[in-house]
């Protein structure tokens, strides 16, 4: 088990009288891909945004890289990569110019083409953000999180709305980023994605963690409890057919 890089203890968030996060606790190990899973409204984004210093918590304790959120949020900001709202992308700038602009904001010398290459978008260096496909937009947005060489990146539903190939391409990209030593926290609704990607997951429901372990252990526990899935009639599903027919190499167009 690695070093703990994020520690969340008894986190609460109230929006007025509505209690959205009700005492969430979890630790994230350095170098892992940690998933927050749960239905819409479970409190995933709220939890992430509090850790990212973008939202005030009501109570609880958060440390990132050993730094206390209450005492030194600016130090935390320097360590993390956050996906910006797409509205933050100036419409008249192309991808190279956008990266140069963010690099300037972060005061980080950056080679835009090299960075676009890591997300397989070098062919789109002169394109505007709005001209990209859904998968390309997500890859660009992930590239922007890497500009300040963060220890941790936060991805909030990066694959929602993408087609199966674009999702797989993004999984490969996220694994590459982790292989280079970056810790990844991701939220998703897709359980197949969490199973492939995440070392450990916290399942959140109505503002509480209801399970926390590796996907493998959670599945084993369910099976040990006597659960049996209705018999599989076929050895493949329609998604397998689609991927088999169309391939899933990192295409520039998805």
Asked if 57 touches ligand ADP (CB under 6 A), the answer is: no
Element (H, E) at 142: helix 134-145
* Contact predicate 145/110, CB 8 Å: no
Which span (39-47, 143-151, 173-181, 225-233) binds ligand ADP, by CB under 6 A? 39-47
Asked if 83 touches Mg ion (CB under 5 A), the answer is: no
Closest Cα to residue 125, out of 110, 112, 139, 111?
112
Closest contact distance (angstroms) between CB of 45 and ligand ADP is 3
Asked if 40 touches ligand ADP (CB under 6 A), the answer is: yes
Residue carrying the six token digits 């986190």? 11
30: alpha, beta or left? (left if phi > 0; alpha if psi -120 to 50): beta
Comparing CB distances to ligand ADP, the nearer of 37 and 132 is 37
Asked if 8 touches ligand ADP (CB under 6 A), the answer is: no
Cα separation, 219 vs 241, in Å, equals: 25
Site string for Mg ion, 3-42 (x = CB under 5 A): ----------------------------------------
Comparing CB distances to ligand ADP, the nearer of 45 and 83 is 45
Asked if 96 touches Mg ion (CB under 5 A), the answer is: no
Sign for the pseudo-dihedral over CA of 204, 10, 82, 154:
negative
* Contact predicate 197/171, CB 8 Å: yes
Asked if 42 touches ligand ADP (CB under 6 A), the answer is: yes
Cα separation, 237 vs 219, in Å, equals: 20
- Out of 11, 35, 44, 166, name the contact with ligand ADP by CB under 6 A: 44
Cα diameter, the chain = 58
Compute CA 29 distance to the chain's CA centroid, rounded to the nearest angstrom. 15
Closest contact distance (angstroms) between CB of 44 and ligand ADP is 3
- Out of 5, 20, 82, 197, name the contact with ligand ADP by CB under 6 A: 20
Asked if 45 touches Mg ion (CB under 5 A), the answer is: yes
- Out of 3, 4, 10, 41, name the contact with ligand ADP by CB under 6 A: 41
Sign for the pseudo-dihedral over CA of 131, 133, 134, 140:
negative
Q: In the complex, which residues of this chain contact ligand ADP (CB under 6 A)?
A: 15, 18, 20, 38, 40-46
**Residue ranges in contact with Mg ion by CB under 5 A:** 44-45
């Amino acid at each position: 088990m690695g070093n703990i890089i994020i520690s969340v203890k008894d986190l609460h968030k109230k929006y007025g009288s509505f209690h959205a996060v009700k005492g969430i606790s979890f630790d994230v190990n350095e170098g892992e891909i940690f998933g927050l899973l749960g239905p819409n409204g479970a409190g995933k984004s709220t939890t992430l945004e509090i850790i990212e210093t973008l939202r005030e918590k009501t109570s609880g304790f958060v440390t990132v890289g050993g730094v206390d959120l209450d005492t030194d949020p600016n130090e935390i900001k320097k360590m993390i990569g956050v996906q910006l709202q797409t509205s933050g992308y100036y419409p008249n700038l192309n991808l190279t110019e956008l990266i140069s602009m963010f690099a300037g904001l972060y005061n980080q010398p950056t080679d835009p083409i090299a960075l676009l290459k890591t997300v397989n978008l070098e062919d789109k260096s002169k394109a505007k953000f709005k001209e990209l496909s859904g998968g390309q937009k997500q890859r660009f947005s992930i590239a922007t999180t890497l500009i300040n060489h963060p220890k941790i990146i936060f991805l909030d539903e990066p694959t929602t709305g993408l087609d199966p190939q674009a999702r797989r391409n993004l999984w490969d990209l996220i694994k590459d980023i982790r292989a280079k030593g970056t810790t990844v926290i991701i939220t998703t609704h897709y359980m197949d994605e969490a199973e492939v990607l995440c070392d450990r997951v916290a399942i959140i429901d109505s503002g509480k963690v209801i399970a926390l372990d590796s996907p493998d252990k959670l599945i084993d526990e369910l099976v040990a409890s006597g659960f049996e899935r209705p018999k599989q009639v076929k050895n493949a599903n329609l998604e397998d057919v689609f991927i088999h027919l169309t391939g899933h190499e990192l295409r520039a167009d998805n």
